[in-house]
Structure formats: structure tokens, C-alpha cells
Amino acid sequence: MDSEALRKFSALHPKPAGLSLQYGTAGFRSKAEQLDHVVFRMGLLALLRSKAVTATIGIMVTASHNPEEDNGVKLVDPLGEMLHPSWEEYATQLANAEEQELQKVITEICQKAAVNLHKDASVFIGRDTRPSSKKLSQSVIDGIQVLGGQYHDYGLVTTPQLHYMVCCQNTQGQYGKATLEGYYEKLSKAFMELIKQSHCSGECQRHLKIDCANGIGALKLSEMKPYFPQEVLIHIYNDGTKEKLNHLCGADFVKVHQKPPGGLDMKPNERCCSFDGDADRIVYYYKDTAGHFHLIDGDKIATLISIFLKELLAKVKQNFKMAVVQTAYANGNSTRYLQETLKVPVHCVKTGVKHLHHKAQEFDVGVYFEANGHGTVLFSKAAETKIRQLVKEEKDSEKREAAKMLENMMDLINQTVGDAISDMLVIEAILALKGLTVQQWDALYADLPNRLLKVQVADRRVIDTTDAERRALTPPGLQEKIDALVKKYKLSRAFVRPSGTEDVVRIYAEADTQENADALAHEVSLAVFHLAGGKGEPPQP
């Protein structure tokens, strides 16, 4: 390692005094002007990680659904998955090291993680459309060049596209070609193969209005348009030419505020969807003839996909294990419908994509979605091999056709991470094949009314949870109090969990009516305020 070069470059990306940041599920996020030293150092770390695992590592400059003035950076592991938890700690150490300690921290990481600095290394870089992203990705390149590594800068891409490229590269092209064209071709081919089998003649056009959050999704969807069949008519709104990224639009806005985004004109019963700022989340929605807004969130997306996959799996008659993975935020009625009506096993894990992804890997077919619209489907190696074999060798035509559809679903789904473009095509294909309208999909089950609240506390660490965050272990007496409150209402449940990023406690409650869900959430927030060291005034109803 060239200490002189490290010192010189590090001085060009100085760390602001007293700033301390934490690498979380979404990597680092902060105001863009605070991140220059962080992204430079993540360039260094990506290279060390690449040397440690002898594979290409990805680095994405984005802050997803955060406001435009924020930015962030996250690393992508060899198969397109999130950075290994032990390296999240190294990332935090490196980002917060003082200038003069930088070399020492790098040496320590190399020792702990058995990094051989003489090995080759390569990094793929991507960025979103924020005004600050280009300069920050240049700082990443500085970090890579100090340690003398190879890199490929993909420029403007969605987060899932970068995950896809990294996986393609490290599977020597087995997962696909590590180019944008390769991504567009693989997805569009699988999509066309699927909708060919929908019972619908040439004039059956499928209109879809898409709110792209004024982000990268608009650019990439426009590039992909020529690859779509004529029957699919996508109309792009909030394309970033007029308004600010994520401002009053995008999947997060629609989900949190339960209302349509600005900049999109909705007519009754039109199918609409929203991507988030880096296009890794999607939610659908429509307005009925009475003008009421209906949100179709990640839970209902997981349900639609599960219905379709379960039917196909039944037809191929293999003993595949299928399950749906949710978090405690999943609507209680979605869990009931999956378990009782569909008879699909449901597993609940802690909040955070990495926990869902990890659990879904335990099954032949693992469907996971967070209620916010981030999710995908994972197929085990054994299931994938068997399905592709049935397509080639199965004599029974019904079995073979079902296997063919499963094969196209596997190719259409981005198995590395939630991907709004891929998920949108999966949903559109299923609705076409099953002849479902958006209203029929919505009517599978009715969501239980719910309410999300947050309470500011002096220290979020006073709350410790268990049972996938559904029960509080500390402070003493809090869980007993919640249990007593829940008993007062029908079809009710409530849980509290500390935020991963700020000193607040998040509260979720659901019940048979909106009035009861609101009342329960308020009563639980008061209990948290009094028992867990609330700050300021007690919560008002």
C-alpha cells in the first residue's frame, strides 16, 4: 500500500470534524455535503472486500427515497446481495477514522479479514440522478485508484441494475450479461414469452401509468421501452425533467400518505404504480368510481405472486417447498389470507431486507416483500435446475407448459434484490395471464385498518425486542401494558421497535376499525412515552 498516495488523496477528501456515521441496512445516508470522505473511503473498502473474496464488488451512490439534497453509498457483495454484516462494521470504522489513523484502520481490516493486498481487485460503480451523485462517484474512483484496483463505471443506473451486473459478472455470465442491454433483453424476452400465453387477442392493450419519483427509474424505463411488445403501453410521469426527486411523489410518499402522487392524473379504475427514487420499490394503486383511493402495497403484491406460483408448482408436481417471508409490519389480513386461504407457510422476520432475503433462501421458492413494496422471489439452485430440466425433457404437455412459465418467471424476476422494473413486469404478466383487473386483485382480501406512529425518546436502546420484533423485552412492564391494551379491541395487535437510525420508537397498531386502530396506537404511544423515557410533551391523540 502506497502510504504517500493514501495521505495525499485522503487530504483531498477530508473528514468534517466530529462527524460520525453508521453503516446500516441502506449503507450510509446523510446530507450530500457530508459524504465526500465517506464515499472516497468506501472506494477503498470496496477494493479490500474485492481482494478478500476474489470477486467483483459493487458500489452504488444513492439515497433511494430520501430528499434530493441527501445522498448515500452502499456496497454490493459478489452475488448481488447486501454487504456481509462483519464488513458493515469495517465500513463504519473506516468512515469514522480520523485522517492520521486511516492507514492503521486499513491495516487492521486487512489483518482481521485476511485480505491479501497483492491480489487483483475490481469494482462496479453506479449512481442515481441526484445533482451530487456524479461528483461523489468520482470520489469513489479516487479511493479505488489509491489502492490500484480495476473499476467499471456504469454511470446512471437503478440500484437493482447494479446488483444484477455484479451477479452476472461473478457467475461468469450464467445469470446474464453484465450490460444494460443484457438486462433489458433478458427481462423483455421472459416477459414476452409469458404474455404470449395470455388469452387475449391483438387489441387487448395494457395501459399502465407509472410515477417514477423524478428519479433514475424514468431514464431506464425510457431506454427499455423499445424492448416492450406493442400491447404494453407504459405512460411515464414524474420523469425528473420538471420537479425535484421524491418531492410529493414516489412509492414511499404514496405508501406513507395513502394518496396519489402529484404530477399524475388518475381516472377511475386506471392501473397506476409508483417507483421510489432508485427504483428498488414499487406500489400499485387506483381510484374507484366514487373517487376513493386504493393502495396495493407489498403485502398484496406478494399475495398475487404467491397465488400464481402456487398454481404453477401444483401443475409441475414436484415436491418444492414454497414460503412467504414477511415482517411484523405486514397487514394481519394478508398473513391470514396466505396461511388460511392459500395454505402457504408464512414466516415473520426482523425488519430489514437482509433478514427477509436470508430467510427466503431456506426454501425452494421464497417470496418476500416488505409492505413498503421492496421485495422479490428467490429460487433455490435445485429448484432452478429441476425446472429447466422439465422444460427440456418433460413429455406431459401440461407439466411442460407450467415448467416453461416457471422458467420465464425465474428469468423475469431479479433474484438479487427488489427491483421495481422487474416486479412491475412480473405483476403485469400475472394480471394478463389470470385476466384480472386491478380491482379484482385488490379484492383478494381487505386490509385491516392500521396506524403507524413514532415517539421521541432520550435513548432508543432502552427498547429491546424479541419474536421478530413483535414483543418488547425491555423496559419492564411495557409488553404487559401493550398486551392489556390490545385486549380492548377486536382483531387487534400492536408492537413497538426502536428506529435503526434515530432516537425514536416506532409504533404499529391494527384493529377492526380505523377509529380503534388510531385509539390503540395512541394508547401504546403513551405507554412508550411514560415507560421508555419519552422526550418533550406526551403524544396527543
Q: How far is it, in rounded angstroms, from Cα 418 to Cα 160?
A: 7
**Is residue 276 part of an annotated ligand binding site?**
yes
83: left (phi over 0), alpha (psi -120 to 50) or beta: beta
Can you tell me whether residue 433 is helix, strand or coil?
helix
Residue 452 backbone phi and psi in degrees, to 5: -105, 135
Residue 252 annotated as part of some ligand binding site: no
If you write DSSP's letter for every residue of 362-390 in order, what string do you get?
TSSEEEEE-TTS-EEEEE-HHHHHHHHHH
Distance, CA of 393 to CA of 19 (rounded, Å): 61
CA 123/CA 118 separation, integer angstroms: 16
Between CA 60 and CA 280 the distance in angstroms is: 13
Q: Which of 10, 30, 50, 64 is catalytic?
A: 64
Any binding-site annotation on 499?
A: yes
Ligand-binding annotation for 371, yes or no, is yes
Is 442 annotated as ligand-binding?
no
The verdict on whether residue 280 carries a ligand-binding annotation is yes
β-strand pairing of 57-61 with 122-127: parallel
- C-alpha cell of residue 200: 387475449
501 is in an annotated binding site: yes
Nearest to 492 by CA among 464, 468, 466, 514: 514
CA 101 to chain centre: 35
Helix then strand count (H, E) for the chain reads: 18, 19
HEC per residue, 300-360: HHHHHHHHHHHHHHHHHCCCCCEEEEEECCCCHHHHHHHHHHCCCCEEEECCCHHHHHHHH
370 is in an annotated binding site: yes
Q: Please, what's the largest Cα pairwise distance for the chain? A: 71
The answer to the question of whether 278 is labelled as a binding residue is yes
Owner of C-alpha cell 422439465: 390
The residue with cell 485508484 is: 145
Q: Could you confirm whether 64 is annotated as catalytic?
A: yes
CA–CA gap between residue 365 and residue 9 (Å, rounded): 47
Quick check: 372 and 380 in contact, CB under 8 A? no
Is-cis flag, bond preceding 539, omega within 30? Answer: no
SS3 158: coil
Report, in angstroms and rounded to the nearest whole number, the Rg of the chain calculated over CA atoms. 24
Which residues belong to the annotated binding site for substrate?
A: 370-372, 497-501, 506
Which residues belong to the annotated binding site for Mg(2+)?
A: 64, 276, 278, 280
Active-site residues, by number, are: 64
Which residues belong to the annotated binding site?
A: 64, 276, 278, 280, 370-372, 497-501, 506
